[in-house]
């Protein structure tokens, strides 16, 4: 069957659109840090991120479920289920889906600290967890 040029042109446009879409869907620690920076945060500070991770509030802390050493797996404090390591160097899948990261920050900051984390705090934590 002989294809008309317009058909081939439409197909290549579609292929290009799909490719662009896939590239945009792949988030990273860096792309999330850029987005958080644009929400008015100061430069991010890995040390502050580590301190937030270990800070105890009413006997709760991030490291309770996630492990104080982010290269190691954690254990969910209530269910006992294993949680894969949080650092990007130990677990390259971390921070590759901004919607997922945002969902867990909201849930875990509320549970652990009794409030949502600010853009500054989220960026400090991601900066710490994505150090080479």
Mask for 18-57, x = binds ligand HEC (CB under 6 A): ----------------------------------------
Least CB distance to ligand HEC at residue 43 (A): 19
94 touches ligand HEC (CB under 6 A): yes
- Candidates 46, 48, 83, 119; binder of ligand HEC (CB under 6 A) is 83
Contacts of 40 (CB under 8 A, 6+ apart): 119
Residue for token pair 């929400």? 39
**Quick count: other Cβ atoms within 10 Å of Cβ 16?**
10
64 touches ligand HEC (CB under 6 A): yes
- Candidates 35, 48, 90, 113; binder of ligand HEC (CB under 6 A) is 113
8 A C-beta contact, residue 42 and residue 54: no
**Quick count: other Cβ atoms within 10 Å of Cβ 109?**
19
How many residues in the shown chain lie near ligand HEC by CB under 6 A?
Answer: 22
92 touches ligand HEC (CB under 6 A): no
**Quick count: other Cβ atoms within 10 Å of Cβ 66?**
23
């Amino acid at each position: 069957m002989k294809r008309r040029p317009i058909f081939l042109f439409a197909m290549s446009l579609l292929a290009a659109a799909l490719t662009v879409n896939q590239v945009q869907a792949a988030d990273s620690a860096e792309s999330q840090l850029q987005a958080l920076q644009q929400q008015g945060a100061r430069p991010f500070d890995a040390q502050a991120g580590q301190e937030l991770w270990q800070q105890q509030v009413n006997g709760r802390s991030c490291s309770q479920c996630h492990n104080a050493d982010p290269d190691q797996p954690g254990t969910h404090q209530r269910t006992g289920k294993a949680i894969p390591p949080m650092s990007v160097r130990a677990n390259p899948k971390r921070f590759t889906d901004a919607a997922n990261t945002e969902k867990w920050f909201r849930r875990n900051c509320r549970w652990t600290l009794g409030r949502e984390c600010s853009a500054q705090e989220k960026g400090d934590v991601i900066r710490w967890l994505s150090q080479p």
